[in-house]
Amino acid sequence: MSLYLLVPIFLDSYEQRRWQALRKNFWIGFWRLADPKISLASFASMFLGACLAATALPLDWRWLGLTIAGIFALEIAKNASGEIVDFDSGADLGVAPQDRSPFSGGKRVLVDRLLTRRETIGIAATFYLLAILLGLFIATFRDPRVLAIGMIGVACAYFYHSPPLKLSYRGLGEIAVALCYGPLICAGTYLVQTGTVAAEVVWLSTALGLLIGAFLWVNEFPDYSADRKSDKRTLVVRLGRKRASYIFAFGILISFVMLLAAPFVARLSLGVWLGLAGLPFAIFAAFRLLMAPESTTRIVPAQIATLLAFVLFALGTGAGALIR
């Protein structure tokens, strides 16, 4: 990547313009892989974990910063390695123009020729290495138990798309996402701060994980035809869009029921019910998807609403937990 930071002073005017175009494409492609919209899932889980940790001990902002950096690096690495697999399988190439949305259809950095295959592999390798090094640093100097959580996270990130497991191609990607973006990231953030994992963290992070899994779920609907043709057997493909829309509604219902039960089951303050701010958006998303599970244009508002549902759930629940 550092090659693109060099100034091509020895090129003629035509070559300079071409170089600048390539450099611009590189950074546009990299920005797509960083994808702030999708990274909101991991940030929501870290926010909840940090707020819950702050109810037990003062936050150590240095370790929190390293945690955020490590997980963000892993996000970029996962997106980059996944692009290669989805391009090779035809999953990204097979998405029809009318089925594309801001939240599905892949990052398309190879399809749109923003990055070369070599550049995409380089980004994946660089950020997997960075994530691993940060994880090892935290495990060495803060808490060795973080290493186990980090190993599971790296494995899920890489094998979400890549062989031999190819979790997203076998109908296991949704489970992996709910696990990683719920209990794994949230509990890992809490562990780094407090040196332990409390029952209330597992309970609330599982509820959040179900909502984030629902976000992946709704994003799979526009990709249904392309995934089916490329033998990407997501649960939406396996179940069919109509039945999958009912499962989506059931999943978000369970998530908010768990939130309502949290003060009694996990002995948390009633302030966590501020997370119910996400409920209207979740209800809207469920009804929207149930009414039109095969229309991408009508599904996009459901995608946006599901994103808002889990973000507001995390923000409200995390902030509410701090109320005593």
Distance between CA atoms of 46 and 44, rounded to whole angstroms?
Answer: 6
Give me the residues paired with residue 101 across strands: 104
Mean pLDDT of the chain: 89
Does the pLDDT at position 12 exceed 60? no
- Is cis: bond before 36, omega within 30 of 0? no
pLDDT at residue number 237: 94
Distance between CA atoms of 54 and 213, rounded to whole angstroms?
Answer: 26
Q: Token match 């640093």: residue? A: 137
Residue 227: its H or E element: helix 224-229
Per residue in 263-317, pLDDT (tens digit) is 998 878 899 999 999 999 999 999 999 999 999 889 999 999 999 999 999 999 9
| Structure tokens given for 304 | 């946006």
Residue 87: its H or E element: helix 61-89
Per residue in 31-87, pLDDT (tens digit) is 888 877 768 999 999 999 999 999 999 999 999 999 999 999 999 999 999 999 988
CB 217 within 8 A of CB 74: no
Closest CA to 300 of 241, 243, 221: 221
What is the mean predicted confidence (pLDDT) over 204-208?
A: 97
| Structure tokens given for 165 | 């497991």
Distance between CA atoms of 245 and 208, rounded to whole angstroms?
Answer: 19
Per residue in 102-133, pLDDT (tens digit) is 777 777 888 888 899 999 999 999 999 999 99
Domain 37-321 has CATH 2.60.40: no
Distance between CA atoms of 109 and 299, rounded to whole angstroms?
Answer: 23
Does the pLDDT at position 11 exceed 80? no
Helices 117-141 & 61-89, crossing angle to 10 degrees? 150
CA-atom Rg of the chain in angstroms: 20
pLDDT at residue number 14: 47
pLDDT at residue number 113: 87
The SS3 of residue 284 is helix
Percent of the chain surpassing pLDDT 70 = 92
**pLDDT band at 19; cut points 50, 70, 90:** very low
CB 35 within 8 A of CB 107: yes
> Which string of DSSP letters, residue by residue, matches 183-197?
IIHHHHHHHHHHSS-
> Which string of DSSP letters, residue by residue, matches 21-42?
HHHHHHHHHHHHHH-HHHHHHH
